[in-house]
């Protein structure tokens, strides 16, 4: 005790992952960032976060489509910090297409990144967390872990699976002070959402405004995007003692979408 906690956040070079990493670093955790993108831009993000918070901020460029790379990233984070206390599985991609035209390689890629990568990182983290009697695993799922939308077969299937994985890891870790929960956001305006607007415009023959109001926010009763900071605050809460008995849950932050 007294040592800083060490966290690894996948897909944290942008969007929700960067928001979660920032919240954990501001709370005093050393963090490992991961994600794809321009090397110079990522180094700028890393250095800024380190300077703002005073914690150690590492970056691991692992491509999580590969299970071995997932395990290697966990192992090098644990080596660098002496342990891994908090694992946030956030990296994810989307692809929108009717099932009959859904490219098989897109299905495989989405299952690999949005579901299997979380299995591989949890698999590589669990033993050490159990041995040290401490671990907090947070999987960023989605409202699409609970309900479907047309044209998102792979994403919906992967996110439903991720909640199942969350429950299983929660049961296995329960007596070792290892907790595993999912956060299930509604629509958050990040690059992932921005990038699917053109595809949805094409698939549904709609304007950009129609896609935002009639598709993206159609089911979100508040008619507001979720803010990245709201997801980050909940992730941070799940690492505090007040959340010790939250285990195997999927916490919706979706403006009431899945209440319908």
Residues marked active site are found at: 155
Question: Which of positions 21-80 make contact with ligand NAD (CB under 6 A)?
Answer: 34-37, 63-65
Asked if residue 192 binds ligand NAD (CB under 6 A), the reply is yes
The single residue among 4, 14, 97, 160 that binds ligand NAD, judged by CB under 6 A, is 14
Question: Which of positions 193-232 make contact with ligand NAD (CB under 6 A)?
Answer: 193
Residue 40: which residues within 8 A CB-CB, separation 6 or more?
none
**From 20-28, 169-177, 191-199, 236-244, span contacting ligand NAD (CB under 6 A):** 191-199
For residues 252, 155, 70, 185, the Cα torsion angle rounded to the nearest 10 degrees is -20
The single residue among 17, 161, 173, 255 that binds ligand NAD, judged by CB under 6 A, is 17
> Alpha-carbon distance 12 to 91, whole Å?
7
Tokens matching residue 243: 């959340």
Secondary element (H or E) of residue 31: strand 30-34
The single residue among 165, 188, 234, 251 that binds ligand NAD, judged by CB under 6 A, is 188
> Alpha-carbon distance 247 to 27, whole Å?
22
> Alpha-carbon distance 74 to 243, whole Å?
24
The answer to whether 178 touches 135, Cβ cutoff 8 Å, is yes
Q: Which is nearer to ligand NAD, 133 or 220 (CB)?
A: 220
Q: Which is nearer to ligand NAD, 53 or 190 (CB)?
A: 190
Q: Which is nearer to ligand NAD, 55 or 217 (CB)?
A: 217
The answer to whether 5 touches 241, Cβ cutoff 8 Å, is no
The single residue among 22, 90, 116, 121 that binds ligand NAD, judged by CB under 6 A, is 90
**Left if phi > 0, otherwise alpha if psi is -120 to 50, otherwise beta: which for 223?**
left
For ligand NAD, how many residues bind (rule: CB under 6 A)?
Answer: 29
Asked if residue 190 binds ligand NAD (CB under 6 A), the reply is yes
Q: Which is nearer to ligand NAD, 12 or 247 (CB)?
A: 12
The single residue among 185, 220, 238, 252 that binds ligand NAD, judged by CB under 6 A, is 185
SS3 annotation, 147-195:
CCCCCCHHHHHHHHHHHHHHHHHHHHHHHHCEEEEEEEECCECCHHHHH
- Residue 87 C-beta: closest distance to ligand NAD, Å: 14
- Interface residues with ligand NAD (CB under 6 A) are 11-17, 34-37, 63-65, 90-93, 113-114, 140, 142, 185, 187-188, 190-193
């Amino acid at each position: 005790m007294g040592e800083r906690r060490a966290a690894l956040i996948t897909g944290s070079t942008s969007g929700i992952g960067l928001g979660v990493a920032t919240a954990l670093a501001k709370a005093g955790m050393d963090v490992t960032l991961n994600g794809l993108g321009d090397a110079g831009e990522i180094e700028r993000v890393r250095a800024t976060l380190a300077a703002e918070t005073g914690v150690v901020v590492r970056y691991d460029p692992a491509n999580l489509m590969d299970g071995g790379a997932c395990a290697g990233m966990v192992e090098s984070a644990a080596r660098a910090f002496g342990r891994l206390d908090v694992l946030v599985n956030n990296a994810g991609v989307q692809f929108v297409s009717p099932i009959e035209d859904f490219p098989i390689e897109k299905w495989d890629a989405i299952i690999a990144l949005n579901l299997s990568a979380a299995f591989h990182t949890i698999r590589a983290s669990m033993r050490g967390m159990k041995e040290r009697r401490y671990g907090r695993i947070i999987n960023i799922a989605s409202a699409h872990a609970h309900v479907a939308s047309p044209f998102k077969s792979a994403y919906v299937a992967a996110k439903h699976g991720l909640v199942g994985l969350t429950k299983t890891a929660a049961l296995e870790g329960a007596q070792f002070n290892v907790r595993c929960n999912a956060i299930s956001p509604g629509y958050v305006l990040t690059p992932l959402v921005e990038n699917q607007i053109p595809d949805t415009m094409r698939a549904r023959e709609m304007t950009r405004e129609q896609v935002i109001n009639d598709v993206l926010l159609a089911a979100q009763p508040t008619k507001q995007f979720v803010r990245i900071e709201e997801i980050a605050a909940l992730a941070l809460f799940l690492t505090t003692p007040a959340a010790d008995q939250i285990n195997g849950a999927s916490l919706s932050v979706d403006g009431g979408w899945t209440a319908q």
